[in-house]
């Protein structure tokens, strides 16, 4: 039950007095050792609180970084091709990636980060148990790990377990792997079928193709659901241009392993059955919570009936007075690592340092690391139309040619920007979208500007850094409405700096 942005407290059974006299009693117990949970725990420890982290995953998953590192490896392949145009000489015919070296390099880096987190927990005097936590009641948890069991008590408990890959209910589903498993493969993935249209699916397809593997992507409906669909289709068309075969409006039917290969059957929208053989099948059809095994019902915590995620209020509190949730496990919140980290820190400050600051879930910038990178902040065009109406918004847009592409004369059809703003003065910017090189680096600063209520006049009055792709955002002049009236092309044919 909500009241003034909060969820009303739970039943009287969950309001019992709590004693911190026991050795195994803590001011804060964090369930989950992901980015958000660790950030919350370390921040709470700064206020001299007794903190425990329960994490049964070893090592703790840091898959976001995996994707960026693999994407970087794929970009190097393109850079080698570009280098020829600048006079560098390579034997590109023999240019192949050593999967073992790549995998080990990425895994070693992740292990070093995980070790660093463990050291930071120790330095901050945060207790850590590599154990699975299940609720006994709203203040008590059973921690099970390494054949040992311990009962721990928490004045406050934070659920930060994240979400795990989900799988379709079809014959042979166990023959496929998740994106989490991909980075631990001891052998090259070879010819790969990626099932799903999420950013995880498209990022995996992109870097596997960039590393030289044959890749197909099976998308049931639309790519990048929840993102601006014009930009999503630019990403998808660029994947196709890079050699990824996209199977539109298809669903998997069955998987059979024979003689070391996988035969996948799938069904198209019109009911036709197709098949092909693959070395690897990667499931990327979404992620889901796994809370039932934690006996969360014994604590009285309410979960959303459809998503299965924890319901929280504006303060990240559940319906139970002392239990909170942060990160991907929250219902209706952004599934982004930086969001989990920020909300975890803010929660600790509210609990133990008297802060009133809440997490701002609006205008959070993010990037999809596909061959043509896509970054955005604010509303999609569809969301802006739904919220304000077509007649109340203006969409500035342009295609542009990055200077990096000029010497090799790489195609620039997929380098595109658009800014959505209100038509009425002062033309507040509602959303910024960019596809092109270094998308994340380009968008980070604009994320700050959006939090400061950026207007179109301010954007266009800004002096650009020359020669960069980012400066194209401050040179926008053509709107979709104007182009429709005049038939003018959105291609930006101006030279840099003009």
Q: What secondary structure does DSSP assign to 30-48, as a single string? A: EE--SHHHHHHHHHHHTTT
Judge whether 267 and 152 are in contact, CB under 8 Å: no
The count of other CB atoms within 10 Å of the CB of residue 364 is 18
pLDDT, greater one: 315 or 94: 315
Judge whether 176 and 155 are in contact, CB under 8 Å: no
CATH architecture of the region 173-285: 3-Layer(bba) Sandwich (3.50)
The beta-strand segments (E) located in 175-222 are 177-178, 192-195, 215-219
Whether residue 59 has a cis bond before it, omega within 30° of 0: yes
Q: State the fold for domain 24-61+101-165+288-353.
A: FAD/NAD(P)-binding domain (3.50.50)
Q: Look at residue 412 in the predicted model and tell me its pLDDT.
A: 62
Q: Which CATH superfamily is domain 372-492 in?
A: FAD/NAD-linked reductase, C-terminal dimerisation domain (3.30.390.30)
Judge whether 399 and 416 are in contact, CB under 8 Å: yes
Q: Look at residue 8 in the predicted model and tell me its pLDDT.
A: 46
pLDDT in tens, 49-102: 999 999 987 544 445 778 899 999 999 988 988 888 889 887 766 678 999 999
Residue with tokens 């145009």: 85
**pLDDT at residue 11 tops 90:** no
- The residue extents of the domains of the chain are 24-61+101-165+288-353, 173-285, 372-492
Going by C-alpha positions, the residue among 115, 99, 303 that lies closest to residue 211 is: 99
Overall pTM surpassing 0.85 (yes/no): yes
Phi, psi of 25 (to 5 degrees): -105, 140
Q: Look at residue 63 in the predicted model and tell me its pLDDT.
A: 55
d(CA 445, CA 368): 17
Equal CATH topology for 24-61+101-165+288-353 and 372-492: no
**pLDDT at residue 19 tops 60:** no
d(CA 297, CA 291): 9
pLDDT in tens, 156-184: 999 999 999 999 999 999 999 999 899 88
CA angle 484, 488, 493 (to 5 degrees): 140
CA angle 65, 343, 153 (to 5 degrees): 105
**304 catalytic, yes or no?**
no
Chain mean pLDDT for the chain? 90
Query: Which of 117, 397, 433, 466 is flagged as catalytic?
Result: 466
| Tokens coding 387 | 């919220």
| Tokens coding 489 | 């092309």
């Amino acid at each position: 039950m909500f009241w003034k942005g909060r969820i009303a407290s739970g039943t009287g059974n969950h309001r019992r007095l709590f004693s911190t006299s026991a050795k195994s009693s803590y001011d804060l117990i964090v369930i989950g050792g992901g980015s958000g949970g660790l950030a919350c725990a370390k921040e709470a420890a700064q206020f001299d609180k007794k903190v425990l982290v329960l994490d049964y995953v070893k090592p703790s998953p840091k898959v976001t970084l995996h994707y960026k590192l693999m994407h970087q490896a794929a970009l190097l392949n393109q850079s080698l091709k570009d280098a020829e145009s600048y006079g560098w000489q390579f034997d590109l015919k023999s240019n192949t990636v050593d999967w073992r070296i790549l995998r080990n390099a990425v895994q070693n880096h992740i292990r070093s980060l995980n070790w660093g987190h463990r050291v930071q927990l120790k330095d901050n005097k945060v207790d850590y148990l590599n154990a699975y936590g299940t609720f006994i009641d709203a203040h008590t948890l059973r921690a099970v790990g390494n054949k040992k069991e311990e009962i721990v008590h928490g004045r406050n408990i934070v659920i930060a377990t994240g979400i795990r890959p989900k799988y379709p209910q079809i014959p042979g589903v166990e023959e496929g792997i998740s994106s989490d498993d991909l980075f631990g493969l001891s052998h090259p993935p070879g010819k790969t079928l990626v099932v799903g249209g999420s950013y995880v699916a498209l990022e995996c397809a992109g870097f596997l193709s960039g590393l030289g593997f044959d890749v197909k992507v099976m998308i049931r409906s639309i790519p990048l659901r929840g993102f601006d669909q014009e930009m999503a289709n630019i990403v998808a068309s660029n994947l196709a241009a890079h050699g990824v075969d996209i199977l539109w409006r298809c669903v998997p039917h069955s998987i059979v392993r024979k003689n070391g290969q996988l035969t996948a059957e799938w069904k198209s929208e019109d009911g036709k059955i197709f098949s092909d053989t693959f070395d690897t099948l990667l499931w990327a059809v979404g992620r889901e919570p796994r809370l039932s095994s934690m006996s969360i019902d014994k604590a009285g915590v309410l979960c959303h009936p459809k998503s299965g995620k924890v319901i929280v209020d504006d303060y990240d509190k559940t319906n139970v007075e002392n239990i909170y949730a942060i990160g991907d496990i929250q219902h209706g919140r952004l599934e982004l690592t930086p969001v989990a980290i920020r909300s975890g820190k803010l929660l600790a400050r509210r609990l133990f340092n008297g802060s009133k600051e809440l997490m701002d879930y609006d205008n959070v910038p993010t990037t999809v690391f596909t061959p043509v990178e896509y970054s955005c902040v604010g509303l999609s065009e569809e969301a802006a139309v739904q919220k304000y109406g077509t007649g109340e918004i203006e969409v500035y847009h342009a295609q542009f040619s990055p200077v990096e592409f000029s010497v090799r004369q790489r195609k620039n059809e997929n380098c595109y920007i658009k800014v959505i703003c209100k038509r009425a003065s002062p033309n507040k910017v509602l959303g910024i979208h960019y596809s092109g090189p270094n998308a994340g680096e380009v968008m980070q600063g604009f994320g700050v500007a959006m939090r400061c209520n950026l207007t179109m006049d301010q954007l266009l009055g800004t002096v650009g850094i020359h020669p960069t792709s980012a400066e194209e955002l401050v040179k926008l002049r053509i709107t979709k409405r104007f182009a429709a009236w005049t038939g003018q092309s959105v291609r930006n044919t101006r030279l840099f700096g003009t």
